[in-house]
Amino acid sequence: MVHEERSIMAAALSIEYRVGDATRPTGDGPKVVAHICNDIGAWGKGFVLALSKRWTEPEAVYRRWFADRATNDFRLGSVRLVQVEPDIWVANIIGQRGIRRGSGGPPVRYDAIEEALSTVADQARTAGASVHMPRIGCGLAGGDWKIIAAIVERKLSATHVPVVVYDLP
């Protein structure tokens, strides 16, 4: 009986993986589409292209947020939620330092992603939303999915926020 309860709890805390497009999240209820942005105002490669093709608002908000960064909270670890449909928001997460791999390694910043996902979790719980994403931080940002998945589990799944990760076919 104890083993069975642990299995059920482990399943409740896991990430659900689906083949599909994260810009077209499936399921019932409100949804947050999370993705990683850089901290230099560059928008034009990777998953953001799919976002911009589907909705114009996330890019426009990101560019304004960056342009006014001297007077706002634009920094690594920050997040802006942008409503794109009545029940869908996009979370622009600043989780990448620059856009190039350098002596400091890949641009991904795990601590920034962790901080931002705490904010996303709070917002998602308040809205009763699930969180949908590609394998954030692993494309152009150069992150390791094992590390990021552990952060996603700790910050979202373990706090009872349903998470769906999409892999393109």
Q: What digits encode the pLDDT tens for the residues 58-86? A: 999 999 999 999 999 999 999 999 999 99
**Does residue 121 or residue 44 have the better pLDDT?**
121
Walk across the sheet containing 88-96 and list its strands: 16-19, 163-167, 130-133, 31-38, 88-96, 79-85
Q: What digits encode the pLDDT tens for the residues 82-123? A: 999 999 999 999 999 999 887 778 999 999 999 999 999 999
Q: How far is it, in rounded angstroms, from Cα 97 to Cα 123?
A: 24
Contact (CB, 8 A) for 40 and 96: no
Tell how strand 16-19 and strand 31-38 pair up: unpaired
Domains and CATH numbers, the chain: 29-167 (3.40.220.10)
pTM for this one?
A: 0.91
Tell how strand 130-133 and strand 31-38 pair up: parallel
